[in-house]
Chain A
Amino acid sequence: MVETFDLSKRYGNGVVALDRVSLKIRRGRIVSLLGRNGAGKTTLVRILATQLRPSSGRARVLGYDVLEEAERIRERIACLPQGAEPVGFLTVWEHLYGYLLLRGVGSREARKRAREMLEILGLESRRKTLASELSGGMQRKLLVGMTLVTEAELLFLDEPTTGLDLVSRGEVWGLLREFRKEGRTILLTTQNMEEAEALSDEIFLLHRGRILARGKAGWLVRRVGAEVRVEVEGGLRPEELSRYGRCLRVPGSLLVYTDGEGARKLVGEARRRGVQVRCRPVDLEDFFLLQVEGEDGPAQAA
């Protein structure tokens, strides 16, 4: 469905946003590009969505080349750019219905789909409300709805839930899961580990324009090689902590990755010395931190 071969992007100012990225994404999945700001996620999505030219390498989307067959791709994709906002002077209905007409959908079909999407989004009562009068969460839902209503085979969603509260975020996740059930594919970028973990069939971890790791969330978490993360806030030196497991310095605290027994011993030691600790099972964030530390060294890990 999506394939890239040594895809690179160097901007005019010399910044290398993508560095020989090769990946393959299969149909009917939600795939997340996970990484920090400047990791290259948006650049990759913009190239695949035919908005930006690569500097070198090749990319094929839905079997078509992004440079030579962009029109064929554009008929079958929809995209929600990072930081997009609805047009303030248009109503909710005009966004959904108008966008479908702009994409060439017949007016009867567009009306039907827009009505259904209003219902799915729970915005029927806001049909005639100007987008500028919606809350931030509703605006975001509307934009996600605009991409879903297209019924495109492949969706590119660049940080679709940024700025949403927990309830709105859960609603958007629900919409995306429904979309996947219809056999469609979503390429999602996010900085939110929880989102990547909750939604993705596969995760690509991007860092400094390169893919550091890929796989299912559970598999990536297992690669941490520990069960528990113990966060220690001062009072114990890294040399002392390293006998319990792998130690990682992050701003304001030290993280120790260990097993259940190691965690129990470490917590006991910390209590004796009056040091505050917090424990939790390892998750995707820990995999991310350890991978980035491996690349950048401890100073930049967090």
Chain B
Amino acid sequence: MGLLRQLRASLVLGWLNGVVPIRRTPLWVISYLMFPLSLLFLLGLYSEELVDFALLGGFLTVLASTGIEVLGDVAYFKTICKVQDMFVASPLSPSAYLFGLSLSSLFYSLPGLLVLTVASLLHGLLSSQLTPTLVAVLLLIWLSFTALGFTLSTFIREPRHAWPLASILSILFSILPPVYYPASSLPECLLPLSLLLPTGAGALLLQEKAGLVDLPVGLAKLAWASLIAETLLLWLLARYGSRWRED
């Protein structure tokens, strides 16, 4: 099957696994928004200054949590429905399958991103300076987390483990690094550690570009390098480390 057909197959999978279930069960979208909106509410109550952090963190969390939810999708397709075996024994390539699932997670996150965009515009956070960085960071977060979800899914034999694991990881990735709090509140020696997680690197870049924090010289470049390298690594791991055909 040629590249264009594989791309079309990815779009079809994204549509069937993303748009169709959202239209039939819109509650999913609300569930992905609950955590970032709750934090926005709490942080907003605590301090007006933290609203910008909550909005930027919300963007990252929505994409990270829907991305890692690929873990649950694969568990459902592979272990419960067993339709993944039908996909393996077909011309659909592993890359097209992975990209299709990534697209479906993007479709899930779009309504949430829209809500956060409107809130950011109303709060005067979005600017012509921040927007390109925001788009680039979100793109990398989307790719890295769907790849991570896909890779982890291949090691899960019991589908009931998939959903709690996805929830735990998405909370950890959103709370441990400075996603909802200022990166400047971390000791300077700990800042590079936050680059080990894609959400940490992404948050540093967004907070710096939005003028919310001043980063030490060179840290922003290091954050870009980390985020790109982590995304590439996770994508390669998903493509070649996951078990499309079992041993």
Contacts and interface: CB of A to CB of B under 8 A. Distances in A.
A33 interface: no
B20 A81 contact: no
A74 B90 contact: yes
A78 B5 CA distance: 18
A77 B87 CA distance: 11
A50 B88 contact: yes
A243 interface: no
Contact of B20 (A75, A82, A90, A102): A90
B47 interface: no
A250 interface: no
Contacts of A173: none
Contact of B91 (A84, A89, A103, A130): A103
A104 B82 contact: no
B245 A52 contact: yes
A16 interface: no
Interface string B73-98: 00001001111011111111100000
A74 B245 contact: no
Contact of B90 (A84, A89, A103, A130): A103
**Most central of B6, B8, B24, B86 by chain A CB within 10 Å:** B86
Nearest to B21: A89
Contacts of A86: 81, 83
B89 A78 contact: yes
> In terms of DSSP, what is the predominant structure of the interface of chain B?
helix
A184 B29 CA distance: 45
B206 interface: no
A142 to B, nearest CB: 12
A84 B89 contact: no
Interface stretch (B9-17, B30-38, B48-56, B115-123): B9-17
A257 interface: no
A230 B245 CA distance: 48
B25 interface: yes
A84 B89 CA distance: 14
Interface in A77-131: 77-87, 89-90, 94, 98-99, 101-104, 130
A94 B13 CA distance: 11
B81 A85 contact: yes
Given A52-B246, A102-B9, A94 B16 contact: yes
Nearest to A72: B91
A70 interface: yes
Nearest to A54: B247
B89 A49 contact: yes
Given A50-B245, A53-B247, A102 B89 contact: no
B1 interface: yes
Interface string B197-211: 000000000000000
Interface string A43-87: 000100111110000000000000000110011011111111111
Nearest to A12: B247
A185 to B, nearest CB: 14
A156 interface: yes
Contacts of A146: 86
A98 B16 CA distance: 8
Contact of B85 (A51, A87, A89): A51
A75 to B, nearest CB: 5
A254 to B, nearest CB: 40
A237 B239 CA distance: 64
Interface in A245-262: none
Given A79-B86, A94-B16, A51 B9 contact: no
Contacts of B20: 89-90, 94
Contact of B1 (A50, A98, A104): A104
Nearest to B12: A101
24 contacts: A46-B85, A46-B246, A50-B88, A51-B245, A52-B245, A52-B246, A53-B247, A75-B1, A75-B91, A78-B89, A82-B82, A84-B83, A85-B81, A85-B82, A86-B81, A86-B83, A89-B21, A94-B16, A94-B20, A101-B12, A102-B12, A102-B87, A103-B92, A130-B24
Given A51-B245, A89-B24, A104-B2, 8 more contacts: A12-B247, A52-B246, A53-B247, A74-B91, A81-B82, A99-B86, A104-B8, A146-B86
Interface of B: 1-2, 5-6, 8-9, 12-13, 16, 20-21, 24-25, 77, 80-83, 85-93, 245-247
Interface of A: 12, 46, 49-53, 70-71, 74-75, 77-87, 89-90, 94, 98-99, 101-104, 130, 146-147, 150, 156
